[in-house]
Amino acid sequence: MRVLITAGPTREYLDDVRYLSNASSGRMGYAIAEAAIEAGHEVVLVTGPVAISPPDGCEIHQIETTDDLLKTCVELFPTCDGVIAVAAVCDYRPVQRISGKIAKTGTAVTFEFIETADVLAELGKHKADRWIVGFALESQDPRANAMRKLKMKNCDCIVLNDTSAIAADENDVEVLNPQGDTVAGFTGPKSQVAGELFSWIEDHISGE
């Protein structure tokens, strides 16, 4: 099985120096990639900028912006059997990126932001016979927001966690199916959660 996995954050630049991003460490996505490799599968890892090394044995594609992630995933998805989308995508970008470095003037600076592309929803439009596992990191009305994402992105299931997972060594996740049922839950170090989650995906989603 050839599995596409996304990991880490994306960045959206305000000028040539400063950017909007998040604190994703990439650990959960990298751990799932390692679990998939250990299970004997071919892994295609699309990763944003992180401070950890990817697992040995995977095909690596480095990206930075959300548009980079979209372009790369759209190109790779047709060659894969499924996708596990763990990347923490930056949801907004400035309407205009300023060339050079914005100088301090002693006055307030205002930026106008628009939403970035919905990468997983785009993959969901071209799902065909492939499977899709999404991740939802939520802080308000988590189940409702996770289910909305599952349906919008045409996922087979969605993995729900909260903001305590960001840059942490451990995670606590809940797997929801399209009917809104909790079908699995895993807690512990991210490496352990990744192994248990990937085994569950093998048994219930991928058909392996």
Q: Where on the phi/psi map is residue 167: left (φ > 0), alpha (ψ -120 to 50), or beta?
A: left
Count other Cβ atoms within 10 Å, centred on residue 53.
7
Active site residue 161: no
Report the SS3 class of residue 179: coil
Sequence-ordered list of residues with C-beta below 8 angstroms from that of 88, at least 6 positions apart, any chain: 8, 9, 10, 22, 24, 48, 137, 166
Determine the Cα–Cα distance for residues 116 and 118; give it in Å rounded to an integer.
6
| H or E stretch covering 187 | strand 182-189
The active-site residue, picked from 22, 145, 154, 177, is 22
Can you list the positions of beta strands (E) in 33-77? 42-47, 59-62
Count other Cβ atoms within 10 Å, centred on residue 40.
8
The single residue listed with the structure tokens 């309407």 is 95
The single residue listed with the structure tokens 């045409």 is 154
Residues recognised as catalytic: 22
